[in-house]
Structure 1
Amino acid sequence: MNHPEPVLEMYNYHSWANGVIIDRLNDLPQHIYHKEIQSGFSSVSKVLSHIYLTDYAWFDIISGKSMDEAMACSNQLREEVEKKSIEEMKKIFVALYDRNKEILSTEEDTDKVIVVDNPYAGLLETSISESVLHVVTHGSYHRGNIATMLRQMGHTSVMQDFGLYLYSK
C-alpha cells in the first residue's frame, strides 16, 4: 500500500500555483481577464476555466465516474464557469481544492489502478497517482498559456515553479 503524501504534495503545489496566478490576475485591470485575444484560447478566462473543469473531471474519474460521466458533468458547468469573475474563480477553485484534497487524503492506495475509457483515445489503465500527475502537469502547461497571453497584452505574469513553491513553504 502506497502512502498518499507525495501525490498530495504535488496536488498542493498545483493548488498553490493556481492561487499564485489567480492572485496575479486579480491585481490586473478587470477587463484583462475576459478580453478576447488571438491565442490558443480566446481569453485568459477560458484558459483558467479549462484548468478548473479538467481538474473537476479528473477527480470525478479518480472518484469512480466514467470519463463520459465526468466530461458530461464538467461540460454542464462550462458556460457558468467561463462567465465568472476572477474573484468568483478563486472561491470555486478553493472549494474544488478542498474537495479534491479530501479525496486524496482518504485514498489508501494511490497506486491503485483505474481504467479510463477516453472517447478520443480508448482504454487506459493508469493509477490515481499518475492521474494526479496529469492534472498537475496539465495545469502547469496552461498556466504557461496564461503567462504568454498576459505578455501579449502588455502585462507580466508571475513565477509559479515547483522550486518556488518549495521555498514558499
Structure 2
Amino acid sequence: MKKLTIQLFEYHVWANKKLIKHLRSLPEEVFVNQVNSVFPTIAETFGHMLAVDEMWYLRLKGVYLQQIGQKKLNTIEETEYKLDDLYDDINHFFINIESVENTVVYKNTKGNQFNNKVFEIVQHIVNHGTYHRGNIAAMIRQLGHEGTSTDYIFYLRTINNII
C-alpha cells in the first residue's frame, strides 16, 4: 500500500512538472492571461494547487490551519521552484512514515474534525490536482494553444519505459 501511495503522489508531481514544461514552450503571457474558468489565470490555478497541497501536507504532519491562503505566483519559474520545494518536503515525509494506513486527525478550515488515512489524503491530493490540471488544459486551449497529456497511464508508460 505504501508503494502505491507514493507512486500516486509521484504521478501528481510528474504531471505538474510535465504541465509546467509544456507551459515553458508557450508564450510567457499565457501563464497570466485572463480566461473564463474556475480561476481567472493559469498562475492563480497553480497558486491554488500549491496552497492546497501545502495545507494537506501540514495536516499530514498534524499542523492545524484555520485558513489556506492563495499563493501568488508570478512566473512559471517561481511556480516550479515552489512546487519542487514543497514536493521535496512531502517526499521526505513519505520516506519516514511507518504506514500510509495511519489515521490522520485534522480540522478543516471551519474547525470541524475529521479522520482519514494517509493513503486516502494522498488520493484526494492527486484527484484535486487532476481536476485543476484539466482546468489548465482548457485554459491553454482557450488561449489558442495545444495542451499536453498528463494522464496517469502516460506516467505509467513513462516510468516503465514504454513510451
Answer whether TM exceeds 0.5 for this pair.
Answer: yes
Asked whether 1:103 is paired with 2:101, we answer: no
Of 64, 74, 82, the residue aligned with 1:84 is: 74
- Counting aligned pairs with the same residue, the percent is 28
After superposition, what is the alpha-carbon deviation per residue over 1:95-123, rounded to whole angstroms, capped at 9, x for unaligned?
11111010011100111111222234833
Counterparts of 1:56 and 1:84, CA distance in 2: 18
After superposition, what is the alpha-carbon deviation per residue over 1:11-69, rounded to whole angstroms, capped at 9, x for unaligned?
0000000001011111110011011122111101011111111111100100111242x
For residue 115 of structure 2, what is the amino acid of its counterpart? E
Verify the 8 A CA contact 1:67 1:116 in the aligned structure 2: no
> Mind listing any 5+ residue stretches in structure 1 that lack a counterpart?
none
Q: Secondary structure at the match of 2:72?
A: helix
Verify the 8 A CA contact 2:64 2:106 in the aligned structure 1: yes
Seen in structure 2, the aligned counterparts of structure 1 residues 125 and 83 have a Cα distance that, compared at 3 Å, is closer
Tell me what 1:61 maps to. Answer: 59
Verify the 8 A CA contact 1:17 1:160 in the aligned structure 2: yes
Asked whether 1:20 is paired with 2:18, we answer: yes
What is the total number of aligned residue pairs between the two structures? 159
Q: Secondary structure at the match of 1:83?
A: coil
Of 102, 106, 109, the residue aligned with 1:112 is: 102
Q: Secondary structure at the match of 2:144?
A: coil
Runs of 4+ in 1 over 4 A off after TM superposition: none
Counterparts of 2:121 and 2:65, CA distance in 1: 12
For residue 117 of structure 1, what is the amino acid of its counterpart? K
For residue 34 of structure 2, what is the amino acid of its counterpart? E
Q: TM-score scaled by structure 2?
A: 0.91
Of 133, 136, 142, the residue aligned with 2:132 is: 142
Tell me what 1:153 maps to. Answer: 143
Verify the 8 A CA contact 2:73 2:79 in the aligned structure 1: no
> Mind listing any 5+ residue stretches in structure 2 that lack a counterpart?
none
Counterparts of 1:40 and 1:119, CA distance in 2: 20
**Higher deviation after alignment, 19-28 or 108-117:** 108-117
**Higher deviation after alignment, 15-24 or 85-94:** 85-94
Tell me what 1:39 maps to. Answer: 37
Q: CA deviation at 1:153?
A: 0.9
